[in-house]
Amino acid sequence: MRKFLSILFILCLCTSLRGTNRTKLEVVFCIDMSGSTNGVIEDFRNNYWQLIKNINTSTNGSVRIGIIGYAFTSFGATSSYIKIFSDLTEDFEALSYSINQLKINIEKGDQFIPAVIYTATLGLNWSEDEKTKKIVFLVGNGKVQTGKFDFRKACDIAKEKNVIIYPVNCLQKTVAPVDVGLWKAIATQTGGEFESISVSAKERVYSIAGIHADVADFNKKLASTFIYYGGDGLKRFMMMNQTDTFCMRISPREFYARCNMKLSDNYYKNACSWDLVSQAKISQPDFNSINRKFLPDSLQNLDVKKLASIINTKSQERNYILVQLKNSLQRAGVQPTNYETQLDSILNTTIKKVVL
């Protein structure tokens, strides 16, 4: 899986940094959920915030992401066993929450690759801005020409819409690869690049004893600076806390990556719709239009002046906590072991070449 993330980071970085100006980027991940990929969707989920952090850094925050799952029997034959988990969005937390709720059972499934390409190309809310770079990572294996659609025609439509496809073929040591030439043809026809990864065994590249106490403490204090409002407010507040808990259970590295995202302005931009402190940083909330019953119980009966004062205090607390969280993350760090995969080496080398 580390190879998979390295490939994605390399390609996103190369796509976003070519030329002198960084451009807007839209990325869709189409992930094979059948047993033959050895649970790559779970690995993707468990490394989600690290991936988001890398892409967000490489694009300076100008990115929207969507996720499609396929080859999962439970999705049903009428949809060609395909499900859109999330349309293109900047709301990475809601996207993360949706895939965290998946109860992943490895199933034998049918891969209808042409239908997946059609769904990714025509079923999502791609930008109409011609300057926006649009890419699809098609992650999976098996036969390409399956189902009622022609993959070449599907690729033609993708090309017409300026959607570039990067196939990532999942290889197993005990199973001969199928249709590799056609997987490569998808890349060639749409202007992408073909890569392959081994999914026969899980890789462990990082070794960390545990989550640094200061990082966990300041992240918890940061949560106390949010004041939810609106019909979705409490749900979004709980979603934020549950996502924190999920990441803590996965690994310190994933939790640190999520905390790093909380240092970015984009995180609070996306929280404006449900957090008064984030909203107040952009513009003064219209207190008269706020339905008080959706505020925390302790704030529902306060007058406007008192509520505004509390929001201001929380904002100052947040600024202080973010500085402390940043410092604690720097102290905690992520210590790599001496083990490095070939693609990790390629990642490091490629980044240096692209940046230079």
Listed by start position, the domains of the chain span: 2-205+336-355, 213-332
- pLDDT tens-digit profile of 29-69? 899 888 776 667 777 787 788 778 777 766 666 789 999 99
The three-state DSSP-derived secondary structure of the chain is CHHHHHHHHHHHHHHHHCCCCCCCEEEEEEEECEHHHCCHHHHHHHCHHHHHHHHHHHHCCCEEEEEEEECCHHHCHHHCCEEEEEEEECCHHHHHHHHHCCCCCCECCCCCHHHHHHHHHHCCCCCCCCCCEEEEEEEECCCCCCCCCCHHHHHHHHHHCCEEEEEEEEEECCECCCCHHHHHHHHHHHCCCCEEEECCCCCCCECCCCCCHHHHHHHHHHHCCCCECCCCHHHHHHHHHHHHHHHHHHCHHHHHHHHHHCCCHHHHHHHCCCEHHHHHHHCCCCHHHCCHHHCCHHHCCCCHHHHHHHHHHHHHHHHHHHHHHHHHHHHHCCCECCCCCHHHHHHHHHHHHHHC
Helices 342-355 + 2-17 axis angle, to 10: 10
More confident residue, 254 or 36: 254
pLDDT surpassing 90 at residue 184: yes
- pLDDT tens-digit profile of 98-157? 888 877 666 666 889 999 999 999 999 999 988 888 989 898 888 899 888 999 999 999
**Cα 115 off chain centre by:** 23
318 half-sphere exposure, CB direction, 13 A CA radius: 22
Model confidence band, residue 348 (pLDDT cutoffs 50, 70, 90): very low
CATH topology of domain 2-205+336-355: Rossmann fold (3.40.50)
Q: Specify the pLDDT at position 279.
A: 95
- pLDDT tens-digit profile of 207-217? 445 788 999 99
Q: Yes or no: say if 98 and 137 are a contact pair by the CB < 8 Å rule.
A: no
User: What average pLDDT does range 322-337 have in this prediction?
Assistant: 80
Q: Dihedral sign, CA of 139, 144, 149, 154?
A: positive
Q: Specify the pLDDT at position 118.
A: 96
